[in-house]
Amino acid sequence: MKILTYNVNGIRAALNKELLEFLQREDADVVCFQEIKANPDQFDEGVFKELGYHCYWFPAEKKGYSGVAILSKMEPKHVETGCGHEVFDHEGRVIRADFEGISVMSVYFPSGSSGDHRQDVKYEFLNFFYDYVHRLRQSLNKLCICGDYNICHREIDIHDPVSNKNSSGFLPEEREWMNKFFDSGFVDTFRVLHPEPDNYTWWSFRANARARNKGWRIDYISISDVLADSLVESRILPDDKQSDHCASYAILDI
């Protein structure tokens, strides 16, 4: 099973930049999108169905903001939107599709970069989401949590750990949350197969950051440790540029 995740930074803009050709080429079984920034009636979902996908959209209530989705070649047994939080569930941040042998989530963690208030919102999400996932694991043990976590885990995951030591996305509290999350029984599918530096999934639009590979690794495909032995391959795809993020995928033998 090939699972791909992509923060598209506006699905309509990405569709204008050969998103469909990219998806056709990668031919993933499950695709997780974040930041679709649109309601499904604002674009033609038929173009995804023509690629063979069942489509499940979870937009935010606020137009043009956030929004996640899952596309899948197989029809899921069940699809769940939200995580049971009265604010975040209006913001299109969590959607899950349950398949035989695995449940796949597409998650867009809040950004904390727009000030202290947004950072507090981010911590609220981190705390709530951690507890939500662990309640969920009591009944769904085989989880794959894909998405834009908006956090670099370690120094190797950011091009300049020194000058970003006070930047949201690389704060000690956030990195400690990533430690706690992985230690609680999840595997970082990219890092476990690729220990080498200079692998990122997001670059600023400014200052020619992408061409100089001055990036951050903030998008992850995490799997429950019980699925670890099924991991065959993981990659990030920095050459495809429909967004300020790039896509990542993992292949699981399930």
Residues with active-site annotation = 148
Closest CB to DNA among residues 114, 184: 114
185 near DNA, rule: CB under 7 A: no
215 near DNA, rule: CB under 7 A: no
Closest CB to DNA among residues 142, 153: 153
55 near DNA, rule: CB under 7 A: no
Nearest to 38 by CA among 61, 72, 7: 61
Q: Is the separation of the CB atoms in 31 and 2 below 8 Å?
A: no
Of the candidates 3, 5, 6, 9, which one interacts with DNA according to CB under 7 A? 9
Q: Of the listed pieces 10-18, 95-103, 135-143, 179-187, which binds DNA according to CB under 7 A?
A: 10-18
Neighbours of 78 (CB within 10 A): 10
Helix (H) or strand (E) run with residue 81 in it:
strand 78-81
Three-class SS of 166-182: CCCCCCHHHHHHHHHHH
218 near DNA, rule: CB under 7 A: yes
Of the candidates 24, 27, 42, 131, which one interacts with DNA according to CB under 7 A? 42
Q: What is the C-alpha to C-alpha distance for residues 162 and 52, in angstroms, rounded to an integer?
A: 45
Of the candidates 76, 92, 169, 215, which one interacts with DNA according to CB under 7 A? 169
Closest CB to DNA among residues 3, 171: 171
148 near DNA, rule: CB under 7 A: yes
CA distances from 111 to 86, 118, 150, 246 (A): 18, 7, 6, 17
75 near DNA, rule: CB under 7 A: no
202 near DNA, rule: CB under 7 A: yes
Q: Is the separation of the CB atoms in 110 and 34 below 8 Å?
A: no
Tell me the closest approach of the beta carbon of residue 100 to DNA, in angstroms: 33
By CB under 7 A, what part of segment 100-139 binds DNA? 110-114, 118
Cα dihedral angle (81, 235, 237, 154), rounded to 10 degrees? 80
CA distances from 201 to 43, 50, 159 (A): 26, 28, 11
Tell me the closest approach of the beta carbon of residue 37 to DNA, in angstroms: 4
Question: What residues make contact with DNA under the rule CB under 7 A?
Answer: 7, 9-13, 35, 37-38, 42, 63-66, 110-114, 118, 148, 150, 168-169, 202, 204-207, 216, 218, 244-245
